[in-house]
Amino acid sequence: MSNRLVALILLLLLVGIHTQLWQGRGSLAHVRDMRQQIDQQLAANTRARQANERLAAEVHDLREGLEMVEEKARSELGMVRQGEIYVHVTPGRR
């Protein structure tokens, strides 16, 4: 009788483990779905990172571009900001 009881308990445990494996929270289908969600999130993160890098490059270009325009205007056109005094020094004769 005890051998049958032990065998029945082991069989029930085996059925429980198989049920969990095929239908439960940690089932193969659930793990597959979670992996797909992870892959989708990683792809979304990559797209967001690329968009952020593009925007950062655009901001950098705009900042550098404005500084370059201002430098060119100052050196070639003699432009000054409000409140500044422009002094032009010419080389002396020898």
One-letter identity of residue 52:
N
Whether the CB-CB separation of 27 and 21 falls below 8 Å is answered with yes
Within-domain flag for 7: no
Within-domain flag for 68: yes
Q: How confident is the model at residue 59 (pLDDT cuts 50, 70, 90)?
A: confident
Gap between the Cα atoms of 70 and 80, Å rounded = 9
Count structural domains, the chain: 1
Overall average pLDDT of the 55-84 stretch: 82
Within-domain flag for 21: no
> pLDDT for 10-57, tens place per residue?
888 888 877 776 777 777 888 888 999 999 999 999 999 999 999 999
Within-domain flag for 44: yes
